[in-house]
């Protein structure tokens, strides 16, 4: 046992001696790695981050403030169905969905310092800087596309409404990777971060995404309530006209038969009075239901509170040039050490 330990210690010292003897080679490779790291770090475009923090408060039609006021007025919410609530946990799925992203295409973005004044789609497809090696990697694809032609793609797009072109899919993926949204379940606080090569556009996109998401949530949560309100409004107007028409018929009949006293007259008058009573009852019920639906729309509308608005960042959030430099230099040094000890490492593995 002692001999084995001594052999292992001697082996480690021998490995260290080999590395020390080749220290110039290791230093050279490390310096080359550092230079490569600098080239990589300065080749990656800068990115700026903007953050928006907000909370969502949703009322319940049965227990909200409007529900309390309605109960005082004698309106019953017990039979009202719950709204199709969109909880904050669904926000990442909503924002990342293709229809939601496609709705952002035509937003105008501008940055005078970069000479940008175009749509968000145009900015992501044409105005983004790339690292030099991406152009080299894209050359084979560009070469193949030059032979493929665009006629087939155009014909397929015309015949297939579900088809998304490669260019549009590339923009969608860029936009998806440019923002991140998360929600804390306990506090209900939602955090939205956007990353762009322009600090102005990053702040503008964060603010626009927040507004667009809030509008989308309000629209979806109140869609059914608004449809019910519109239908009730139509029925209310019809009931109101029917009531006024029945009143007019009764008034005209009485005025035309002032001096008549007969069983037939009384029967017709009673019939018209019943029609007025029935139409009035329907009219009042629809008026009450109209108020109920109006209250429901208000109660199903969530309230958003902005805790941290979008702010234009002064300093870039990435890439970290120091981390890239250290990582590449360390990898180069590690590679040189492995190269020097390759035979010894193979012997250790075999043994």
Instruction: Look up tokens 């993926």; give the residue.
Output: 173
Q: Distance between CA 128 and CA 150 in Å, rounded?
A: 24
Give dist(CA 61, CA 82) in Å, integer: 8
The Cα–Cα gap between 118 and 127 comes to 9
pLDDT computed for residue 344 by the predictor: 81
Angle, vertex CA 205, rays to CA 201 and CA 210, nearest 5: 155
pLDDT of 244 reads: 94
pTM of the model: 0.74
Alpha helices for the chain (secondary structure H): 2-21, 23-43, 65-72, 91-96, 98-102, 120-126, 132-148, 151-159, 166-177, 199-256, 263-299, 321-340, 342-350
Q: What is the pLDDT of residue 349?
A: 77
| Maximal CA-CA distance, the chain | 137
Distance of CA 105 to the CA centre of its chain: 13
Given a contact cutoff of 8 angstroms between Cβ atoms, the answer to whether 134 and 40 are in contact is no
Kindly list the averaged pLDDT for each block of 10 residues, start to end, along the chain of length 351.
47 84 93 93 91 84 53 51 66 92 94 92 89 75 62 54 82 93 89 95 96 92 92 96 93 80 82 92 94 90 93 90 92 93 81 68
SS (HEC) of 278-300: HHHHHHHHHHHHHHHHHHHHHHC
Quote the pLDDT of residue 257: 79
pLDDT of residue 153: 53
- Residue 257 CB-half CA count within 13 A: 16
Cβ-based burial of 74 (10 A; exposed 0-12, middle 13-18, buried ≥19): exposed
Question: What pLDDT is stored for residue 157 in this prediction?
Answer: 52
For residue 286, how many other CB atoms are within 10 A of its CB? 20
Q: What is the pLDDT of residue 102?
A: 92
Tokens matching residue 236: 């209310």
Provide the pLDDT for residue 149: 53
């Amino acid at each position: 046992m002692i001999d084995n330990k001594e052999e292992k210690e001697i082996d480690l010292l021998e490995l260290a001696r080999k590395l020390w003897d080749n220290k110039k080679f290791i230093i050279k490779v490390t310096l080359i790695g550092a230079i490569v790291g600098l080239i990589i770090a300065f080749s990656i475009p800068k990115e700026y981050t903007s953050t928006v923090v907000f909370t969502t408060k949703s009322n319940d039609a049965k227990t909200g403030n409007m529900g309390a006021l309605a109960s005082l007025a004698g309106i019953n919410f017990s039979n009202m169905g719950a709204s199709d609530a969109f909880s904050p946990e669904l926000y990442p799925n909503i924002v990342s969905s293709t229809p939601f992203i496609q709705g952002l295409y035509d937003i105008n973005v501008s940055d005078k310092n970069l000479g940008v004044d175009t749509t968000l789609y145009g900015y992501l497809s044409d105005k983004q800087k790339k690292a030099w090696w991406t152009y080299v990697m894209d050359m084979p694809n560009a070469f193949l596309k030059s032979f493929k032609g665009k006629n087939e793609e155009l014909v397929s797009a015309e015949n297939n409404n579900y088809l998304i072109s490669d260019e549009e899919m590339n923009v969608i993926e860029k936009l998806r990777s440019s923002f991140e949204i998360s929600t804390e379940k306990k506090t209900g606080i939602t955090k939205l971060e956007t990353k762009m090569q322009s600090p102005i556009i990053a702040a503008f996109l964060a603010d626009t995404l927040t507004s667009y998401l809030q509008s989308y949530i309000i629209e979806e949560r109140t869609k059914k309530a608004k449809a019910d309100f519109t239908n009730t409004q139509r029925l209310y107007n019809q009931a109101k006209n029917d009531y006024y028409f029945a009143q007019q018929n009764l008034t005209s009949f009485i005025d035309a038969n002032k001096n008549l006293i007969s069983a037939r007259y009384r029967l017709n008058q009673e019939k018209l009075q019943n029609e007025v009573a029935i139409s009035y009852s329907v009219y009042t019920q629809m008026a009450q239901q109209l108020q109920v639906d109006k209250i429901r729309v208000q109660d199903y509308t969530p309230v958003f509170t902005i805790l941290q608005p979008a702010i234009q960042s002064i300093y870039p959030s990435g890439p970290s040039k120091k981390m890239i430099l250290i990582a590449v230099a360390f990898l180069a040094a590690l590679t040189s050490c492995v190269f020097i000890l390759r035979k010894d490492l193979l012997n250790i593995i075999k043994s």
